[in-house]
Amino acid sequence: MTATKRIVDFAEAKACPEQFVLAINDTLNVLTGKWKLPILASLSYGIKRFTEIQRNIPKITPRMLSKELKELELNGMVKRIVYDATPVLVEYEMTESAKDLSAVIDSMLHWGLKHRKTIMQNEC
């Protein structure tokens, strides 16, 4: 039933350019920019603290990490968990939605690899 419903919605969305564009832009927005994918990759290995993510991504500045984490949280990709120990302890965790992205990323990886081959054949 849920599955059927989802398929119908999918077909509906494909028929309706507005919903179509909205849904695709939602997906693009959580992936684009220089740091979102590295941050999600870091969190894909488990719950992490601010400085741990920073150490995983050596070139990111705290400003960017803070900004991106806020945006990811706002978009339901990351949960921010604050423990009021002293000093304050903050942990970041991927949401289920974020984990579901792996299907999209796999399809992107698949296309990217195939496209690279096509390009190489035509150029070299």
> Is residue 35 involved in binding DNA (CB under 7 A)?
yes
Our CB check for a second copy shows the closer of 19 and 89 to be: 19
Measured from the CB atom, the residue of 86 and 118 that comes closer to a second copy is 118
Length in residues, the chain: 124
Residue 38 CB neighbour total at 10 angstroms: 17
Q: Which is nearer to DNA, 82 or 103 (CB)?
A: 82
- Nearest to residue 58, comparing CAs of 44, 42, 45, 71? 42
Bond prior to 87 in cis (omega within 30° of 0):
yes
Residues that bind DNA (CB under 7 A): 33-35, 49-52, 59-64, 66, 69, 80, 86-90
